Amino acid sequence: MPEVKIMDDQEVKDYLENIEAVIKKGPYLDSWDSLQQFKTPEWFLGSKFGIFLHWGLYSIPAFNNEWYPRNMYIQGTEEFEHHIKTFGPQKEFGYKDFIPLFQAESFNPKEWAEIIKEAGAKYVFPVAEHHDGFQMYKSRISHFNAYEMGPKRDLLGELKEAFEESGIHFCTSSHRAEHWFFLGHGKEFDSDIKEPLVRGDFYWPSREEGNHQDLTSKPYPTTEYLEDWLIRTCEIIDEYKPKILYFDWWIQHEAFKPYLKKVAAYYYNRGAEWGEKVAICYKHDAFMFGTGILEVERGKFADVKPYPWQTDTAIAKNSWCYTDTLEYKTAKDIILNLVDIISKNGNMLLNVGPKADGTFAEEDIRILKEIGSWLKINGEAVYDSKVFRKAGEGPTKETEGQFTDNQAKEYTAEDIRFTVNKDSIYAFVLNYPENGEVTIRSLAESKDQNVPEFHGMIEKVSVLGSDEVPEWKVDYEGLHLKTNTVHSPNPVVVKIQVK
């Protein structure tokens, strides 16, 4: 395979000038005022459920989590000791030496598309570049990419083609910002990370100064690094045309702010050229509210929101990438979380970490199939649904915030969530009772027409996936229904058609 020509200094300058020209042309300019024109794509609002894919060099050691490349260079960590014991000293076998081992020999993008489609996901985010700096796509920024090294395939491009052929919306993510410091500890001892490091090197820049939790900490990333980040992102936009871009943390650092505005304006303008409404997903208020889609990592909101948002979470509790020690969530808990999220105007992006060889673990496939089976039965209550006047009812309180979804909730038969679609209200009974007796209090007959509660006329009540016609009545306590044959460990959806 011929080597790809990397941009020289003049080409970098030309690319930056082109970025400015695209921004200047509009309709979006690199200011929060202008970027407030943003509208969330309709397809995203209706999709509700997507899949995240963390796959890269870190899938080779498959130890602890995707932060292995950072922690293997931090003396005294479990990863540091494991690396020496398993692969040898870091000066003899560094992170770069995993590249030849990453062959993706069993990778079949069409099979991935089939698995994800069967899971009921409508969109997918394969990671384009993680913190480690290895690009999973063909690039003119650095030779350290999957097209030139390792598998020697444009993995991102192949996935885009397969997903779009299957009718799945192709999106992608960049986690590049953290690379500024991600491997910096390797300079603290005799490892393979040594100066001089220059733009385009795999380990460049490996800076470790500063407190990375302090968003105004100095020294800032250099202009050279920030421009490189901007060009890398715009290259993904131009070459792969994702429907949505996701950014991980640390872009909220003060140094990135001007570049965030530029990348948003550039991307939204490119989308306008393509005739596509595109979007950016962000965390930690990195972007101005209203200029993209707000993300909540491994958590959610306790109440319904008037704006679209998304939870990004994982099928495993302890890692985003594949390891041999994954602690899996149950399909039931994932479905329960999905139901609660969509009742509050959110989407769920569920991560799965493929193995280094390009296959999925059996447990991943089993869980995805179970989710897909539930969605096949109950999809009309999920896809293209909107929020009801209430998100839900019941005694169980939801925990709000990030990193809160690893603890499974114990719901009762009184815990119900709502959506609406077309002529129907859908009530998700989160723990369907064995006796089949359910009361939906939010649909009670009102004694006072001036009270802003439900006053609609119910025409028909049914249970999705069941042929049984339930007995039902409405009084001042609620809509009462009784079934004899409905049993499920997962949420049961009651369809209430209104005249």
Average pLDDT (447-465) is 88
* Residue 210 in this model has a pLDDT that exceeds 70: no
Confidence category of residue 213, pLDDT binned at 50, 70, 90 = confident
Q: What is the pLDDT of residue 448?
A: 78
Confidence check: pLDDT of 211 > 80: no
Please give the distance of CA 101 from its chain centroid, rounded to a whole number.
27
Does 442 have pLDDT greater than 90?
Answer: yes
pLDDT at 294 over 70: yes
pLDDT of 43 above 80: yes
Under a CB-based contact definition with an 8 Å cutoff, are residues 348 and 122 in contact?
no
Per-residue pLDDT tens digits for 180-194: 999 999 999 999 999
Task: Give the mean model confidence (pLDDT) for residues 52-75.
Answer: 98
Computed over every residue of the chain, the mean pLDDT equals: 96
pLDDT at 219: 76
pLDDT above 90 coverage of the chain, percent: 95
Confidence of residue 292 (pLDDT cuts 50, 70, 90): very high
What lies within 8 Å, CB to CB, of 221 at 6+ separation is 180, 207, 229, 253, 255, 256
Supply the pLDDT for residue 2.
65
443-466: average pLDDT: 89
* Residue whose token pair is 């220059």: 198
Average pLDDT over residues 100-108: 98
- pLDDT at residue 26 is higher than 80: yes
Q: Domains along the chain?
A: 9-297 (3.20.20.80), 392-498 (2.60.40.1180)
Cβ-based burial of 477 (10 A; exposed 0-12, middle 13-18, buried ≥19) = exposed
pLDDT, residue 1, reads 65
- What pLDDT does residue 3 have? 78
What pLDDT score was predicted for residue 450?
66
pLDDT at 451: 73
By CB neighbour count within 10 A (0-12 exposed, 13-18 middle, 19+ buried), where does 298 fall?
Answer: middle
pLDDT (tens digit per residue) in 331-360: 999 999 999 999 999 999 999 999 999 999
pLDDT at 423: 97
CA-closest candidate to residue 266, choices 295, 235, 223: 235
> 55-64, 304-313, 448-457, 479-488 — which is least confidently predicted?
448-457
What pTM was estimated for this model as a whole?
A: 0.97
- In the predicted model, is pLDDT for residue 89 greater than 90? yes
What whole-number percentage of the chain has pLDDT above 70?
Answer: 99
pLDDT of 212 over the 80 cut? no
| DSSP letter (8 states) at residue 203 | S
Structure tokens at 150: 């390792």
Average pLDDT over residues 414-438: 98
pLDDT band at 162 (very low <50, low <70, confident <90, very high): very high
pLDDT above 70 for 146 = yes
